[in-house]
Amino acid sequence: MPTLTPARRGIALFALALGGFGIGVTEFATMGLLPDIAGELLPGFEQDPTRVIAQAGILITAYALGVIVGAPTFAVLGARASMSTLTFWLLGLFVVGSLASAIMPSFGTLAVFRFIAALPHGAYFGVASLLAARIMGPGMQGRGIALALSGLTIANVVGVPLATWLGQLAGWRWAYVLVAVIFAVTLLLTLLFLPRVPGRPDRSPLGELGAFTNFRVWIMIAVGAIGFGGFFAVYSYIAEVTTRETGLSPAAVPWVLAVLGIGMTIGNLIGGWASDKDLTKTILIGFSSFIAVLAGYGFVASHPVGLFAAAFLLGVTSSALIPSIQARLIRVSHEAALLGAAVNHAAFNIGNSLGAWLGGLVIAGGLGYLAPGWVGAVLAALGLVLALIGVAVERRDKARNRNTVGIPVVGED
């Protein structure tokens, strides 16, 4: 990588984070605009708005499926490509998918383009994480991942409320226009300031897929999908907890989400720094703290102060895990680092669906809106168990190599 001036380095890193900001806006703003979209594109809204809004939730599912499909697909197809060139193409697809979402005339075509708009999601975070780490220098992988993800967490504080407000004021289509503008600015900045990284002609798509034969990769995918599902078990229903359990007005919901977003931003920075210090301890301590917060949520969230405190701590502890899980996936993927970084976000979207589904089951079963906190604690505990299994497997393999080869093996941290 060429030597960069401090100004170019700073703008390049800002551009990578801005792309993450755009992803956060496009992924989460749809949730707040579902009533507006359903009212325009689906029949029967006036007669039964609850049923029609639930039907509009297919848009969220379509986006999650796009992430799951696109993450490994682009990582494999981009195995030989320059990471900078791959970034340009992914951002271009984001622009096209967002603009198309803004002009689609029917609900079915909108769902198709929400799927298409999600395809670059995981691969972008993967390549942005790797590029940020290279720009920042050796030993900065965790902080590079955190920087690439910082835009996603900040989007929950600023971007999502802004897009939701714009969509409610001027029409939901303008929210997607705003997203397209964010991605277009990101594309322009990366074209001007992102350093060009040569491709890897020695790599092959089949070689990249070889990472899926590694048992340790599957363990970490399960850690993200199951363990982080605990966050979505609570997040999916926190608006209902705010109004129905805590007794606050609907106007308090954005404030609760903003506090959670602030916690996510702080936790992301802590997680990136801690991952560079000791990756394994960060995961184990992070999950232990996450479990404690989820378990305590059911006891305190019925009171306003407790709800805001729990939302903040939920944001901190959950986001502190993301850079460490992604860094470990990159590590165990070896040469297929892009695939490891990308599938992490596919795993999180599986966790999104799993956590929301299980949280909804306990609510439907009559256990109340606070019960998803206990579901989340169980999922996070399973994630901790899987992480411990992953650590044990890696240490066993290192011990075998040491005994077989007879040479010292460098520790993982």
Whichever domain contains 165, its CATH number is 1.20.1250.20
Q: Are residues 259 and 371 in the same domain?
A: yes
Q: Which of 135, 168, 203 is the last residue of a domain?
A: 203
List the domain range (segments joined by +) for residue 301: 205-413
Return d(Cα 340, Cα 347) in angstroms, integer.
11
The DSSP letter of residue 343 is: H
The rounded distance, in Å, linking the Cα atoms of 189 and 183 is 10
Are 246 and 183 within one domain? no
- Residue that finishes a domain, picked among 148, 172, 203: 203
Among all chains, which residue has been given the structure tokens 């940020």?
132
The dihedrals phi and psi of 197, each to the nearest 5 degrees, come to -110, 125
Contact 306, 291 (CB under 8 A): no
What gap in Å lies between CA 91 and CA 85, rounded to an integer? 10
Type of residue found at 208: E
Count: domains in the chain? 2
Task: Clarify whether residues 218 and 188 are in a common domain.
Answer: no
Query: Can you say how many angstroms the Cα of residue 1 is from the centroid of all Cα atoms in its chain?
Result: 28
Same domain, 132 and 196: yes
Do 189 and 247 reside in the same domain of the chain?
Answer: no
For residue 2, count CB atoms less than 10 angstroms from its CB and return exposed for 0-12, middle for 13-18, buried for 19 or more.
exposed
If one counts every other C-beta atom within 10 angstroms of the C-beta of residue 139, the result is: 10
Pair 248, 357 in one domain = yes
d(CA 393, CA 197): 34
Residue 50's pLDDT is 65
CA dihedral 189, 191, 197, 202 (to 10 degrees): 130
Q: Please check whether residues 135 and 275 belong to one and the same domain.
A: no
The answer on 214 and 161 residing in a single domain is no
pLDDT at 381: 95
How far apart (Å, rounded) are the C-alpha atoms in residues 191 and 300?
A: 48
Q: What's the distance, CA 90 to chain centroid?
A: 16
Q: How far apart are CA 386 and CA 405, in angstroms?
A: 28
For residue 141, count other CB atoms closer than 10 A to its CB: 26
Residues 146 and 248 both lie in one domain: no
Which residues neighbour 229 within 8 Å (Cβ) at sequence distance 6 or greater? 350, 351, 352, 354, 355, 358, 376, 379, 383
23: exposed, middle or buried (C-beta count within 10 Å: 0-12, 13-18, 19+)?
Answer: buried
pTM (predicted TM-score):
0.77
Q: Are 221 and 81 members of one domain?
A: no
DSSP at 196: P
Q: What is the pLDDT of residue 406?
A: 44
Copy the structure tokens of residue 216. Answer: 């340790």
Domain boundary among 162, 178, 203: 203
Across the chain, which has 413 residues, the per-10-residue mean pLDDT values are 77 92 86 79 77 75 86 81 89 95 92 93 86 78 76 82 83 92 96 84 67 79 88 82 84 82 89 84 91 93 93 92 82 72 80 82 83 92 91 77 49 43
Measured CA to CA, the distance from residue 242 to residue 238 in angstroms comes to 6
Same-domain pairing of 397 and 290: yes
> Which pLDDT score, from 0 to 100, does residue 297 have?
92
Please say whether the beta carbons of 353 and 208 come within 8 A: no
Whether 283 and 394 share a structural domain: yes
Which residue shows structure tokens 């007669």? 47
